[in-house]
């Protein structure tokens, strides 16, 4: 299950932020942003830092990496203490 669409939709709703405004702030098209919110597309990496900033860390680098590699049979993404960091490891390794 993708983490970013769920968290980002909740963030926008709870804070009364318009989706078009947010899309412009992170410099992507409204169409792509709606696809991200629907779970049909992954947020482009060029938008990650600005998204983390605008959400105050609610969306973290760990969340973004999780969604990017969610289907990987080789990589596992683990949370980090800093919103801009993530930890990863090869699945099956100790």
CATH number at residue 8: 1.10.260
Range of the domain at 75: 4-90
pLDDT at residue 7 in the model: 96
Q: How many domains in the chain? A: 1
pLDDT at residue 94 in the model: 59
Alpha carbons 63 and 29: distance in angstroms, whole number: 21
Which positions of the chain have pLDDT values less than 50? none
pLDDT at residue 21 in the model: 98
- Residue 70 phi, psi dihedral angles, 5° rounding: -55, -35
pLDDT at residue 85 in the model: 93
pLDDT at residue 31 in the model: 97
pTM: 0.87
Alpha carbons 61 and 23: distance in angstroms, whole number: 18
């Amino acid at each position: 299950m993708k983490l970013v669409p769920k968290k980002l939709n909740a963030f926008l709703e709870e804070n009364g932020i318009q989706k078009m405004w947010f899309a412009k702030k992170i410099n992507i098209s409204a169409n792509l942003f709606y696809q991200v919110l629907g779970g049909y597309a992954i947020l482009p990496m060029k938008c990650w830092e600005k998204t983390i900033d605008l959400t105050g860390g609610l969306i973290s680098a760990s969340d973004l990496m999780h969604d990017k590699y969610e289907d990987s049979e080789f990589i596992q993404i683990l949370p980090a203490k800093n919103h801009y960091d993530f930890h990863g490891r090869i699945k099956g390794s100790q």
